[in-house]
Structure formats: structure tokens, C-alpha cells
Amino acid sequence: MDGERIKVLLVEDDGDSRELLAELLEDDFDVTTASDGVAGLKAFEATHPDVVVTDESLPGMNGTELAQQVKEREPNARVVLVSGYAQVENADYCDAVLRKPIDVERLSRMVGELGDAARH
């Protein structure tokens, strides 16, 4: 790495899941969190993260809508969509889709790779 840690925005409406995932990702990345899609978009605009990790089922704006808004604002940003559904429609703006339950090691590896790609 070039000294600066990869910045991650984690958008998850379940408080316990959000706190646990943030805590696990903070070992390797600078993590900001948001509890819904609208707050996630505001946090994205304020922090300019390299990678957005978002749940699909969010109040106000779902994960695929958030991904589209993120890509329209910053095409180089990377988006990982997390979903409990087998099929996710309109995931075209997402760089990766992970099924729940989340494999944290896989997610961390993916965030690292996507974060590096977002910077180059």
C-alpha cells in the first residue's frame, strides 16, 4: 500500500451486524458506517470511500439504487452488494455480490482487491 489505508463505507440497517462487520474490517481498513441508503449516500459524498459495502435490503434506498448513485458520482469507486437473496436484480452497478451469511475473510480480501483497483 502507498501508506494510506483503503477507505470503506459500510451500509447496513441492522445495528448489530453493522457494528460487528465494522469492527472486523477496521483491522485492515478505515471504516465509516451508515444505517440506511440515504445516510449511506450522504456519507459517501462526505468521505469519498474507495469501496462501498452495502446490504441490498435497506430502508429509504436499497443497495442496488445506492450502487447506481455511487457510480454516477464516482465511477472509480467500487461497490460490494451483500444480499440474502439468491438472485439480485439490477446489480449492474455493483462490482461484486456476496450472499449472506458473509464470509468475513472473503469480504476483507475482496475489499482489499477492489480498493486497490479503485485507486489505479
Burial class of residue 4 in the structure, from the number of CB atoms within 10 Å of its CB (0-12 exposed, 13-18 middle, 19+ buried): exposed
> What's the whole-number mean pLDDT along residues 57-65?
95
Return the pLDDT at 89: 85
Contact of 78 with 118, CB cutoff 8 Å:
yes
DSSP one-letter code for 92: T
Contact of 52 with 64, CB cutoff 8 Å:
no
Q: What are 80-120's pLDDT values in tens digits? A: 999 988 788 889 999 999 999 999 999 999 999 999 999 88
Q: What are 13-35's pLDDT values in tens digits? A: 999 999 999 999 999 999 999 99
Q: pTM for the full model?
A: 0.95
> What's the whole-number mean pLDDT along residues 67-78?
97
| Burial state string for 41-80 with b = 16 or more CB within 10 A and e = fewer than 16 | bebbeeeebbbbbbbbebeebbbbbbbbbbbeebeebbbb
Structural domains of the chain, ranges and CATH numbers in brackets: 7-119 (3.40.50.2300)
